[in-house]
Amino acid sequence: DAGVIQSPRHEVTEMGQEVTLRCKPISGHNSLFWYRQTMMRGLELLIYFNNNVPIDDSGMPEDRFSAKMPNASFSTLKIQPSEPRDSAVYFCASSLVLTEAFFGQGTRLTVV
Amino acid sequence: GDSVTQMEGPVTLSEEAFLTINCTYTATGYPSLFWYVQYPGEGLQLLLKATKADDKGSNKGFEATYRKETTSFHLEKGSVQVSDSAVYFCALSATYGNKLVFGAGTILRVKS
């Protein structure tokens, strides 16, 4: 398996624009997680899905952020409108019950 | 809520020195404990894990023992190499395969 695949690896966008980050989990995994990494706040869980259903979205910063998982092999994290303070590295991870989480390489988002 | 505290860095060592990175946790019940490593520009990789008290996780010369009495999971390596330079994250999961709570991360720099 190729592991967790995220795209794009880097994204630079202007404030106010919509940004969509994509994630393909490892085949067969039934849990998917979105994390955000910043210098100030470290690694924070934004949302996680189990069997494509959002279980805990308490980490989503505000209504500008939304996440979907339309099927077992794809998830998106959308920011609309984007702001400079959203600049961070966003990681997607997947796991199966009773296994550890595997992380993608991340998307580095810069909002100017 | 659950939390992880790890020693602040950066930690700077000479090659072949002994490494200890302290990690303590607060959690209800019996969480699973992990060490993840992040190399520059990369995602997080699982280094080792322990799922119950007194378990010892080990990988690539690194070890950590799950100590319930002291709520600790300190990372050790007997002889570090330059290639071990990275950021190390201690983490817990209340349910194995479930969401992770991370410590702030410790930067390790090994000089030749």
> Average pLDDT for residues B78-92, to the nearest whole number?
96
Kindly report, residue by residue over B51-75, the tens digit of the pLDDT: 999 999 999 999 999 999 999 999 9
Least Cα distance to A36 among A15, A67, A72, A12 occurs for A67
Q: Which residues numbered 8-27 in A keep a CB inside 8 Å of some CB on B?
A: none
Contacts A93 to B, Cβ<8 Å: 44, 100
**Alpha-carbon gap, residue B71 to A21, rounded angstroms:** 37
> Does the pLDDT of residue A98 top 80, yes or no?
no
Q: Does B49 touch chain A (CB under 8 A)?
A: yes
> Does the pLDDT of residue B40 top 80, yes or no?
yes
**Alpha-carbon gap, residue A40 to A91, rounded angstroms:** 16
Least Cα distance to B103 among B26, B30, B39 occurs for B26
Q: Does B96 touch chain A (CB under 8 A)?
A: yes
CB contact under 8 A, B46 and A106: no
Q: Does A96 touch chain B (CB under 8 A)?
A: yes
